[in-house]
A and B are shown apart, each in its own frame.
Chain A
Amino acid sequence: MSHLAKDMTPQVTWRDITPGCNIYEGGTSVTVETGDWRTERPVVDFAKCKQCLLCVPVCPDMSIPVKDGKRGDFNYFFCKGCGVCANACPFGAITMVAEEK
């Protein structure tokens, strides 16, 4: 009997569901795409970006990854398009662009 979160699908039976609806792993939400909530997406212009990293901590969805002290492109899987990062950037390197569907 698997007690992994990925096996707790909407078809899980009462015998197989984790007791108490407890989960025995951390961070299982990473499989949930919240990016489809967006109506606008942030776009970063790396020519303007000074890598000050001020945009990184303001993101409610951890959608600006940092590697080796530098920010990378947005994580569009999670990004909800709130625009806080665009407003926080002191160099105008982030613009919000209408999401095309």
Chain B
Amino acid sequence: MSIRERLSGNEAIAYAMKQINPDVMGAFPITPSTEIPQYFSTYVDNGEVDTEFIPVESEHSAMSTCIGAEAAGCRAISATSSCGLCYMTEMLYVAASDRLPITLAVSCRALSGPININNDHSDAMGVRDTGWIMLFAETNQEAYDNYLQAMRIGEAVGLPVMICQDGFITSHAIENIELVEDDKVKSFVGEYKPAHYLLNKDEPMAVGAYATPVYYMEAKRQQAQAMIDAKDVIRKVGAEFGQMTGRSYGLIEKFMMDDAEEAIVIMGSSAGTAKQAVKELRAQGNKVGLVKVRSFRPFPSEDICDALKDVKAFAVMDKDDSFNGHCGPMFAEVASSMFAAGVCGPRGISYIYGLGGRDVRVESIQKVFAELEQIASTGVTGETYRYLEVRE
């Protein structure tokens, strides 16, 4: 019997952290993730968890303390956004290459400059090469559910996990949410039992070697394999979670894709807005659908190719511009997946949207579908690189 509650995304994450009761949290505040360490330190100071909380002096140190603690043999967690995620980037690479399954909650926010506190995915996209598993949530429920699955996934493959949600949009908005009971969470998440750890008096461990060109590449290839292996682990853990709660998860979610002729690929809270757009268009007889990306890392190439192979036209919605002068980051990954798999029939465009918290409305998404319909019927793709709702 699950527990019905009304929580914001940040509250839900903090609640999940409480239920897991990890050993160590090292965190620094930054809007809009600030509330997570705030809620959590209230739990700490009221004795509701016995986690050791380290109020570090910067995000770089937040991840540094997590690396120290996880290498020492503990579960270590943190939370951040935007510039904070940027500041700890050096450490994100180390956490992944040291193979430490740290869990990081990210309430996504635009990167400066100009400084902006609202949501987009530039912070998370900026660290997509760090080797972290990255799961994105559409709703508060998904943020909570993803967090509960994070450690099972990360600890199985030895990689750290980033649980991303949209800053302010889900982090601060209150939704109805179903919580899992404490004892179920404990048995689902289990205990952290690393084979090797610093605080083992019977076996010393040395972490953080200087590796010459003779060794570096082998270590990286092994790390790459862990990311490849993560796909199946994410599916497996998502299915097991589904058995426990009735909410199953995979790498992507397909919405009305069965006979879709036009589709969009989208990630995060705007998928909810887009689903509404799809429903309305379907009601008018349009054969449209949506692919929501949940796992951005590892990138679900096979699942996406399979979902898009029969559409006539698709748009990849990117809430970040990586300024390659050509397309958004997720478009690049979708297009390369399709080309590599020989799926060259569908015509695709890249849409940059929602930057710096620019509102995303149902009508805006419907505009995209209208363009896709044009592309599908004329067979002319036109411009690849497009911006949605920018004043011309």
Contact = CB atoms under 8 A, between A and B. Distances in A.
Direct A–B contact in the complex, CB atoms closer than 8 angstroms: yes
B221 A14 contact: yes
A31 interface: no
A15 B221 CA distance: 8
Interface in A21-57: 21-26
Q: How large is the interface on B (under 10, 10 to 19, 20 to 34, 35 or more residues)?
A: 20 to 34
B99 A20 contact: yes
6 contacts: A20-B207, A20-B219, A22-B196, A22-B206, A23-B206, A26-B204
Nearest to A15: B222
Nearest to A25: B204
A23 B209 contact: yes
Interface string B23-51: 00000000000000000000000000000
Contact of A22 (B209, B214, B225): B209
A24 B218 CA distance: 18
Contact of A23 (B97, B100, B205): B205
A15 B256 CA distance: 41
B205 A17 contact: no
Given A24-B203, A24-B205, A26-B204, A19 B222 contact: yes
Contacts of B211: 21
Nearest to B211: A21
Contacts of A19: 99, 158, 219, 222
Nearest to A26: B204
A10 interface: yes
A22 B198 CA distance: 11
Interface of B: 97-100, 158, 196, 203-209, 211, 214-219, 221-223, 225
Interface of A: 8, 10, 12-15, 17, 19-26
Contacts of A24: 196, 203-205
Contacts of A26: 204, 206
A65 to B, nearest CB: 22
B264 to A, nearest CB: 38
A98 B50 CA distance: 63
A17 B98 contact: no
Nearest to B100: A20
Given A14-B225, A21-B211, A22-B208, 12 more contacts: A12-B215, A12-B218, A13-B218, A14-B221, A17-B215, A19-B158, A21-B216, A21-B219, A22-B98, A22-B207, A23-B206, A24-B204
Nearest to B207: A22
A24 B194 CA distance: 12
A17 B204 CA distance: 18
Contact of B215 (A15, A21, A25): A21
7 pairs of A and B residues whose beta carbons are closest in the complex: A14-B221, A26-B204, A14-B218, A20-B99, A21-B209, A23-B206, A17-B218
